Amino acid sequence: MIADEAEMASMMAAAQKGDAGMYRALLAEVQLWLERYYRKRVAPAQLDDLVQEVMLAVHHKRATWDPSRAFYPWLAAIARYRWVDHLRKVYRSAEDELGDHDAPEDSEEEAVMARMSLERLFVHLPEKQVEVIELVKIEGLSIAEASAKTGQSESLVKVNIHRGLKKLSALVEKAE
Amino acid sequence: MNRVPSSLIDELASDLAPVQPLRLWQGVALVAFAAVATVLLVELLDGLWHGAFTGQASPEFFITNGMLALLGAAASFAVVKMASPRVGNSHEGARWSALMLAILPVTALVMLGISGFFGTVTSDMYGVDCFLAGSAFGLVTAGALTLWLRRGAPVSLNAAGTYTGIAAGAIGSFTYGLACPVDHIGHLGIWHVAPVVLSAIIGRFAIPPLVRW
């Protein structure tokens, strides 16, 4: 089970003061949380890279967490920011399939996770944009394949991906 | 599922050093310092309009500069908060304040009519000076907010850039407005609002590359 908000906040506050033991424990929890957070929205082969990238960001930007605020919304904002960045950059290779690699749900965390999940970002996008982002940026189809599958023209697929990613990046902090 | 190697965790833990958390009040103090420094700069370079404090100024003078100051404060506060990422950050105060400022040019348009509005724009001999000076004095605030964002971790870069521009334009125009004795709505509602629009556009495109992380 992943540590709750109070435990994470307490570990992070200790880490900001230089407690390496607490920091190690915190990073292990952060890693678990990120793996769950991204599990349906990142191809398995890219998951580790993205998790590492976020952990490095957490390390370099640890001073930006205010101990008087909650920890998870801070972590989720960084995770979303890096994810949108990742969607812009990465093109998944054809052999990476999105399988059923979900970790079991932890019911105590569900409410918090749901508020800050990546799905929350997608509900603000038109269905056509979500569809092509999922097909091209997550499942790794080509523009032509996505066009054939969705019935959208190739140029419309490109436009919808561009507009969708732009909107996602504007929603990183807002959507909850 | 593959796991992130624990060597990364060990490496990050061994690199750990104590840090001072970024506090909201520090950002607010930085902007307040920038605003006061800008007022002093205006006094040094142009001289404040002392008539404003001896009952010579019109109500429009106080309303316009008050709205600009409030917008500058609201937009600055939004930017300061953006340096600490958080799901649930909203910037409604700054958004509504910006909309509120639009009342000024609309009032000028209603009061002067379309031909009078454009006539004022083209014939106001001090208009361009106020526009350029207000925009230029905003650079002090823009610099302070950009430094703050670079210390932080903004996750909404375009919004951070736009609000930085709005804050800079509003505070720059407010501070220069304290030196400007032209206090009718045809001048204030156009030329003292225009720096906010220009700075917002410049901020939207110039700031994100400077604060990306």
Q: Do A173 and B153 touch (CB under 8 A)?
A: no
Q: Rounded mean pLDDT of B183-212? A: 95
A151 backbone φψ class: left, alpha, beta (φ>0; ψ -120 to 50): left
Yes or no, beta carbons of A173 and B85 under 8 Å apart: yes
Which of B24, B155, B212 is the best residue to mutate to test the A interface, defined by the most A CB atoms within 10 Å of its own CB? B155
Instruction: Say if residues A28 and B18 touch (Cβ distance below 8 Å).
Output: no
- Residue B88: left (phi > 0), alpha (psi -120 to 50), or beta? left
Q: CA of B5 to nearest chain A CA: how many angstroms apart? A: 9
Give the closest of B10, B84, B157 to A64, CB-based: B84
Contact A78 B4 (CB under 8 A): no
User: Alpha-carbon distance B163 to B175, whole Å?
Assistant: 18
How close A129 gets to chain B, by Cα (Å)? 20
CB-based burial label for B206 (10 Å; 0-12, 13-18, 19+): middle
| Inter-chain residue contact B4 with A69, CB threshold 8 Å | no
Q: Which residues of B touch A33 (CB under 8 A)?
A: none
State the Cα–Cα distance between residues B126 and B42, nearest whole angstrom: 16
pLDDT over threshold 70, residue B183:
yes
Q: What is the pLDDT of residues A103-131, one digit of tens each?
A: 444 545 555 565 567 777 888 899 999 99
Q: Which amino acid is at B209?
A: P
Give the span between the Cα atoms of A157 and A161, in whole angstroms: 6
pLDDT average, residue stretch B164-193:
95
CA distance A150 to chain B (A): 30
Give percent above pLDDT 90 in chain B. 75
pLDDT at B4: 56
Residues of chain A with C-beta less than 8 angstroms from the C-beta of B14: 20
- CA torsion angle A91 A95 A101 A102 (round to 10): 30
Tell me whether residues B87 and A20 touch, CB distance under 8 A.
Answer: no
CA-based nearest distance A67→chain B, Å: 7
Query: Domains, chain A, ranges and CATH?
Result: 1-102 (1.10.1740.10), 118-176 (1.10.10.10)
pLDDT given at position A109:
55
Name the stretches of chain A with pLDDT < 70.
1-2, 90-116, 175-176
Query: Do A170 and B82 count as a contact with CB atoms less than 8 A apart?
Result: no
The CA distance from A67 to A60, in Å, is: 16
Q: Is the pLDDT of residue B204 over 50?
A: yes
- Provide the pLDDT confidence category of residue B94 given band limits of 50, 70 and 90: very high
Q: Is A73–B18 a contact, with Cβ atoms under 8 angstroms apart?
A: no
- The ipTM estimated for the assembled molecules is 0.81
Distance from CA of B136 to the nearest CA of A (A): 28
Q: Which amino acid is at A172?
A: V
Instruction: List pLDDT tens digits, range B114-161.
Output: 888 888 888 888 889 999 999 999 999 999 999 999 999 999 999 999
Q: Is A103 left (phi over 0), alpha (psi -120 to 50) or beta?
A: beta
- Contact between chains at A48 and B3 (C-beta distance less than 8 A): yes
pTM for the predicted model, two decimal places: 0.83
Q: Report yes or no: B114 at the A interface, CB cutoff 8 Å.
A: no
